[in-house]
A and B are shown apart, each in its own frame.
Chain A
Amino acid sequence: MSITKDEVIHVAKLARLKFTDEELEMYSHQLDNIIKYVDKLNELNTDDVEPTAHIVPISNVFREDEVMPSMDREKILMNAKEKEDGCFKVPKIIE
């Protein structure tokens, strides 16, 4: 498979990234190379193979339903650039 420039534009949008035309050229070219390389996986027949999402087979790891204190709001907000009235602030959203 190979990746087209239109696909790169679409993927960039999905990933919330913005590129100049020059960057688009570069990424299209490099991604195309990488995708051609990873396409070697298709040499393998994996029809009867189960995917492995977790390498160490553990299950049912839980936490008890016990309330612990939350963090001071000052600390919660300390790394935010825009804040107001104890909230994080973002550009106006029109719903």
Chain B
Amino acid sequence: MELHELKIHELHELLKNKEVSAVDVTKAYLERIKEVEPQVDALISITEEYALKKAEEADKMIQDGNINDLTGIPVIIKDNMCTENIRTTCASKMLEDFVPPYNATVVENLSNLGAVMVGKANLDEFAMGSSTENSAFKTTKNPWDLSRVPGGSSGGSAASVAADECAFSLGSDTGGSIRQPASLCGVVGMKPTYGLVSRYGLVAFASSLDQIGPLTKDVTDCAIVLNAIAGHDPKDSTSVDKMRKKDYKEFLKEDIKGIRIGYAKEFFGEGLDDGVRESIESSLKIFESLGAEIKEISLPYLDYALAAYYIVSSAEASSNLARYDGIRYGHVATNYEDLIDMYMVSRSEGFGKEVKRRIMLGTYALSSGYYDAYYNKALKVRTLIKKDYEKAFEDVDVIVGPTSPTTAFKIGERVEDPLAMYLADVYTVPVNIAGLPGLSLPCGLSNDLPVGLQIVGRHFDEGIVLNAAYAFEKACNFNAKPSFKGGAK
């Protein structure tokens, strides 16, 4: 097996036993990036020089006996997390040359552990989208079929893991942006409970929904990365206290006997692909065979989650993205009449279509006379959805279902119809609305494309989600690899 095909825990064994050095590993991944990147287009920046320097530091740590699970492990960071002195673009023309003077807390944590950042991943501009086609710079391709999208908005993060350009990546998830691309690219992706991972340094899209999480090659790696990034951060007022964090590796057990698994009948309605439905149904059978108790549950307000989500997330985005005026950083217009015109022209030139659409929707929803009808209404519906889940979790320990209603769709297929694109998030959005932890892992193939299974738990119950996922992964034994077919070359 090639180095780039290995998982974190496999690489860690080699590094620990000094069979390879961190520099060897980093060089192997940089080679792999050069090989597949022209086909996949997963990255906005390749940080070769920085990576080699970090790899040397990692080797020193290993020499000094300071090795931990992530020392010397190559990672790719979604390009909406700030990296000190390394360009952070959010895939927007607005931030094309923005160089943050500080590190996001997660980036700082990984760096302190000796992880080696080899690149920054492509995304939908400001994380708004479900296909990575909204990037101002490039469209990332799905390694399973290069004519298809990798999902989004963390499409670059998911594709880079699927294409072995790194051992793991970080993504951000506001309405499914980790889980949906993980599903479409056949990797493991997790959105932790809102507040478990610090958002400091994550360029805000919708502050009450955004959460950073790992994209990995298996569930074990997911727990390892979660261990590294979870925990209280004094710089993020919404990050939870220290007591909430656990050692997530301890939950990696094959035994799930007696665990109560719910599936919502609402998941199996209109719009769900047959192939996906079949995979999910057989997944439920696997759980049953493992001794879990399967229960049908109901989430009656699920149907309203998407509408509430688009109001809340767009309203917050309209405010979060108001700071981009070209004065302190970012794109500034060259031709304008006065101050107000400078704002208007800079912003109109700097933002792409989808971002402008959401700013417009959000501004409208907050504007005088509409606040109660839209924004406050959406917050109330949020309460109903939260209660839906609370009620369901009285009877079950986790809820499983499809991550996405379809497998990877064709590039360009949905760009003209924003509403159709939004429907890609119908199963993932409610989880953000309720702030719950959700994990997607591959559970089968449909027409040679991976299908993702979503497992959702109670607040801060990442442990049981990982337990269920780990047991399922062992039993399902999904080991297909992307084919890189259908490329233009």
Contact = CB atoms under 8 A, between A and B. Distances in A.
Interface of A: 1, 3, 7-8, 10-12, 14-19, 27, 30-31, 33-35, 37-44, 46, 49-56, 58, 61, 63, 71, 75-76, 78-82, 88, 90-93
Given A16-B347, A44-B304, A75-B101, A27 B381 contact: no
B332 to A, nearest CB: 5
Contacts of A92: 339
A92 B340 CA distance: 11
A16 B325 contact: yes
12 contacts: A8-B360, A11-B360, A14-B363, A18-B344, A18-B347, A33-B418, A38-B308, A52-B382, A52-B386, A54-B208, A81-B332, A93-B339
B156 to A, nearest CB: 23
Contacts of A31: 357, 360-361, 364
A12 to B, nearest CB: 7
B392 to A, nearest CB: 16
B327 A88 contact: yes
Given A38-B311, A61-B237, A55 B435 contact: yes
A41 B360 contact: no
A3 B342 CA distance: 27
A51 B384 contact: no
A37 B307 contact: yes
Contacts of A58: 195, 238, 240-241
B429 interface: no
Interface in B208-252: 208, 234, 237-238, 240-241
Interface stretch (B17-25, B271-279, B370-378, B461-469): B370-378
User: Which of A15, A17, A43, A78 counts the most chain B CB atoms within 10 A?
Assistant: A15
A27 B360 contact: yes
Contacts of A3: 364
A30 B345 contact: no
Interface in B307-346: 307-308, 310-311, 318, 322, 325-330, 332, 336, 338-345
List 6 tightest A-B contacts by C-beta distance, closest first: A55-B435, A51-B379, A79-B329, A46-B380, A18-B344, A75-B101
A42 B339 CA distance: 40
Interface residues of B, number: 67
A30 B357 contact: yes
A37 B419 contact: yes
Contacts of B434: 55
B459 interface: yes
Nearest to B342: A91
A82 B378 CA distance: 40
A16 B344 contact: yes
Given A42-B373, A51-B376, A88-B328, 20 more contacts: A3-B364, A15-B347, A16-B340, A16-B343, A31-B364, A34-B357, A38-B310, A41-B307, A46-B384, A51-B383, A52-B379, A56-B194, A71-B101, A79-B98, A80-B327, A80-B328, A81-B332, A90-B339, A90-B342, A91-B339
B378 A41 contact: yes
A56 B328 contact: no
Contacts of B193: 56
B67 interface: no
A23 to B, nearest CB: 8
A82 B336 CA distance: 14
A56 B238 contact: yes
B140 to A, nearest CB: 24
Contacts of B356: 17, 27
